[in-house]
Each structure stands twice: as structure tokens, then as C-alpha cells.
Amino acid sequence: MVTAEEDGSVDVTPAKDGGVLKRVVKEGSGDTTPAKGCNVYVHYTGKLTDGSVFDSSRDRGTPFDFQLGKGKVIRGWDIGVATMKIGEVSVLTIREDYGYGKSGSQPKIPGGATLIFEIELLDWEPEDLSGKKDKGILRYPITNGTNFESPKPMAEVEIHLKGEYEGKAFDDRDVSFMLGTGSSLDVPPGVEKALEHFTLNETSRLVLTPKYAFGSVGCKNLNLPPDASPTYTVTLKSFQKIKDRWLMDPEELLSEGRRLKEKGTEYLKKSDVKLALKMYKHMVKNLDSPLTDGDGEDEKERKALLAAGHSNISLCNLKLNRPRDAIHSCNSVLEIDEKNEKAFFRRGQAYLAVGEPENAKKDFEMVVKLEPNNKAASAAILQCTKMQKELKEREKKMYAHMFEKFAQKDREWRFGWLEGEKPMVEMAPDNPELAAEKRKQIEAKKKFLDEAARRLREKREAEASAGGHEGGEEAAEPPEGENNTNAT
């Protein structure tokens, strides 16, 4: 039997235990090899030690692709393919504990089998961390991190970053911040999103598209122009470990809620409303479910924090001109605390902003009921009354105009229009023959009305003459409009 040393095979396992032996058949090109998380494209043929083929992508005529180092394939592949260059062809001899183990992969691969793969690395792509797979955040690992944990949103992180654009460095510093708030320190969203996939002490190069950098605005503080695609080299030096919500005990949940509330208030004082809103939303998300102690002190504090969170969200939405969202948040507060003065006041403000003074007035009146000395609410009630009157006047004018318009259209469609009047609706061009017939009908109608009016006049005159001879009474006045050719 030929040994590894005799056929030129090299042990590529980190432990150097002989579990994965690699023999290069054809050298690849370039100096780079794919890193963990990269998508790799290969052709392969798999054999048992007796030479029988159990699988081949070449027979299928379609390359095989997978994400390297994520456990998508057997461990021997993750280790061996990571050492290959594009265009390289190598043979990997993989021991059972790096392959399918003692159980095998029946029926083709028996338990405890040593596997022999001839693999050609066709291509590889860096890992896309954008979440949308639009290649907006590409990661090229430089130094692997330790452990498997990564920072969670809202965790405190300490990083070193170096930004480069068109071959020149524009940023090089250590910075600490809460993950999700980096914009306040000119850390682009692409770096923040990528950090959620970093492990401790990892260093990676990130290539960002403008969407995940500073967009069409650029960054004046860093002298970065609009629509720039920068590259960042980032090292995760430390991070706060935050448990998932379902793993937290009541005190941990409340403590995290207090922390997020304080952070939100800090950003609100700095007029960074969007970051404040992000803090309050995350706080509400964590505290949305009841704690295990029923109506105990912890549960009372949870409800108080939750009401404060929703109330502050409504304030942020008012500042961001999102009144409908503010109304929704105030409703959430009042479900928890039905006598919350701030919620009624802010909902009243939101109703005014959407042009609903009647609803707004009810809320401001409730504020005055709860706090009779609230001058702002009293002034707002007067504002609501004024707006209601203005709305009624506008509605009155609008409906009057509508009724006149409808009446005019009714007259036009019922009777046409007579001499000296113009239609208020645009008519489609008529067929010449039909138009001539319509004109004849209108003229005949006018002639008929004129003749009827003439006969009526003569009759009245005759009656008046006869009556005058008999009783000497004055002739009666004709009804108003009788001589008007518009009369029907």
C-alpha cells in the first residue's frame, strides 16, 4: 500500500492527526484561498478505497456549491477545500471520523469507510453579510476569531476599524458604542451589520456598496464623497454578552429594559430621535410578555417600563411627523394605564396633526379632567374648537358648490341648453347626422314652448277683458316666469 509520504500527500488537519490527507494533482492560480463563510463552486468524484465511485458532479454535468466552514458538508471537505486555490485539482483522502463516521451514508457508503475525493475548485465568492444577498457587505476574513459567540443588537462593542477609499485611508481608530447606534460615531451600517457575524478577536476586510456605507449623502466628517464604496478592515476587540430574551430571568429583563430606556433618553436629549426610537422599540420588544411572578413587584415594574417605552415611542413619532404611528403607541400605553395623562395629551396632538379635532378635543378634555391645572391641554381644547368651526365652514362651502354643480348638470342633461347658455360638461363630438337631428329637436321644442306661451297669453288677455267688462276687476298678474322660455 502506498503511504502518504510516498504519493506526496500532506496532512491538512489542524490537529495533524492524519484525518485529511491532500495530494495536489494540478496547481491552482493566485495566492488566495477561500475562507470560512465563502461560497465555493467545485466539481468532484467520490470513491471508496476499492475504487468504486459512489458520487460524481461531473456525471451530473452540474458543479456543486456550498458555504465553506458552516457544516454544510462533511468536516473533511470544510478542511481540505479551504486550502485550495482557484483551478486547483487535488485528491483528499478522508478518514471515517472526518467523513460519515461509523454509520456511513447508506446504501452507497458503508459505516467506517475511508473516502477518496478528487476535487477541482472552480471558483469562490466572499461571504455576503447583507442579509438580502445583494453583495452589499462582502467579508474577507484575515484572522479567525475565538469561540463561536457574536455580538447581539444593542450590545456594547469595542472595535478597531480602518477605512480606505480609492487607495487612501480616511478613518483609523478604536471606537466603542452600542451595536445599532454607530451612525452617531460615523460607523456605517454595513460595519454594524457585519459585526453581528464576527467572533471575538476576529479581523476581517469588509467591502461595502454605497447603500451599506454612507449612501448618496457621503460623510463630511470623514471627507467621504457621496455614493462611495469604501473598504473597512475591522477587528472585534471585545463585546458585551447579552442573553436572548427567553433565557433572561425577570431581573435581567428589567435591568436590560432600564438600560435601553436610559440610552433612548440620552439620544432624545441630543435630538437624535431615530436612535432614541430604536432604543425604545427594542426595549418594548423585550418587555412585551408578562413575567413569571404574576402581579408581583417585578411585573408591576415591567408594566411601568413598558408604558414608558410606548409613551416615548409616541413622542419620537410625533417629532418624526408620524402621527398615525403615535396614535397607535398611545393606544398601547392606555391599554396598560387607562389614566395616563401623557398618552391622552400626545394622542390629542396626533389627532390634531391628522385633522381630527373632534377626537383630539376628547383626549385634551380627558387630560384636563385628570389634571385640571394643565394649561397646555386647555389651550389645545380652544384650538380644537377653532379647527372644528373652520372645518364646518369649509364643508359648507364645498357641499354648496357640489349641489350647485349637480343641479346645473341635471338641468343640462334633462333639457339641453338654450340660447345664451353654455354647457358645463364637455360633450363628445357627435355624428354630423345625429347632431343635425338634435338641433332640429331643440328648435322644435323651443318653437313649441313659444307657441304654448303665446296661446296662454292670449287666453289670459281674453279672460281679463271679459272680466273687466263684467266686474271691472284688475287683471291678475301672470305667474312669475311665465314668459320665460326656460319654463317647463
- Phi, psi (rounded to 5 degrees) for 10: -125, 140
Q: Is the pTM of this model over 0.75?
A: no
CA dist list (Å): 197 to 34, 163, 202: 17, 19, 10
Residue found under cell 430571568: 249
Topology agreement, domain 4-125 and domain 137-239: yes
Identify the pLDDT of residue 36: 87
Identify the pLDDT of residue 118: 98
To the query of whether residue 55 is one of the catalytic residues in this protein, the response is yes
Residue found under cell 380627558: 366
Per the CB < 8 A criterion, the answer to whether 90 and 28 are in contact is no
CA 331 to chain centre: 22
CA 183 to chain centre: 18
To the query of whether residue 117 is one of the catalytic residues in this protein, the response is yes
To the query of whether residue 100 is one of the catalytic residues in this protein, the response is yes
The count of other CB atoms within 10 Å of the CB of residue 474 is: 8
Q: Long-range contact list for 340-347, CB < 8 A, 24+ apart? A: 340/307, 340/311, 341/367, 341/370, 341/371, 341/374, 342/311, 343/307, 343/310, 343/311, 343/314, 344/370, 345/374, 345/376, 345/377, 345/380, 346/311, 346/314, 346/315, 346/318, 347/314
Strand pairing partners for 239? 157
- Active-site entry in 55, 186, 227, 337: 55
Could you give the CA distance from residue 159 to residue 150 in angstroms, rounded to a whole number?
Answer: 13
- Active-site entry in 98, 109, 116, 117: 117
Per the CB < 8 A criterion, the answer to whether 359 and 351 are in contact is yes
Domain ranges of the chain: 4-125, 137-239, 245-387, 432-467
To the query of whether residue 148 is one of the catalytic residues in this protein, the response is no
- Active-site entry in 78, 79, 98, 100: 100
Predicted confidence pLDDT, tens digits, the chain (488 residues): 445 555 789 999 999 999 999 999 999 998 889 988 899 999 999 999 999 999 999 999 999 999 999 899 999 999 999 999 999 999 999 999 999 999 999 999 999 999 999 999 999 999 999 988 899 999 998 888 888 899 999 999 999 999 999 999 999 999 999 999 999 999 999 999 999 999 999 999 999 999 999 999 999 999 999 999 999 999 999 999 998 888 899 999 999 999 999 999 999 999 999 999 999 999 999 999 888 666 688 999 999 999 999 999 999 999 999 999 999 999 999 999 999 999 999 999 999 999 999 999 999 999 999 999 999 999 999 999 999 998 888 877 777 666 666 666 666 665 555 444 555 445 555 567 777 777 888 888 888 788 878 888 887 777 776 654 444 333 333 333 333 323 22
Q: Can you list the alpha helix ranges (DSSP code H) found in 104-249?
A: 189-195
Instruction: Classify domain 245-387 at the CATH superfamily level.
Output: Tetratricopeptide repeat domain (1.25.40.10)
To the query of whether residue 44 is one of the catalytic residues in this protein, the response is yes
Q: Which CATH class is domain 137-239?
A: alpha beta
For residue 107, whether the previous peptide bond is cis, meaning omega lies within 30 degrees of 0, is: yes
Could you give the CA distance from residue 128 to residue 37 in angstroms, rounded to a whole number?
Answer: 8
CA dist list (Å): 8 to 94, 113, 364: 15, 22, 86
Could you give the CA distance from residue 46 to residue 163 in angstroms, rounded to a whole number?
Answer: 44
Helical packing angle, 323-336 and 297-319, nearest 10°:
160
The answer to whether domain 4-125 has CATH 3.10.50.40 is yes
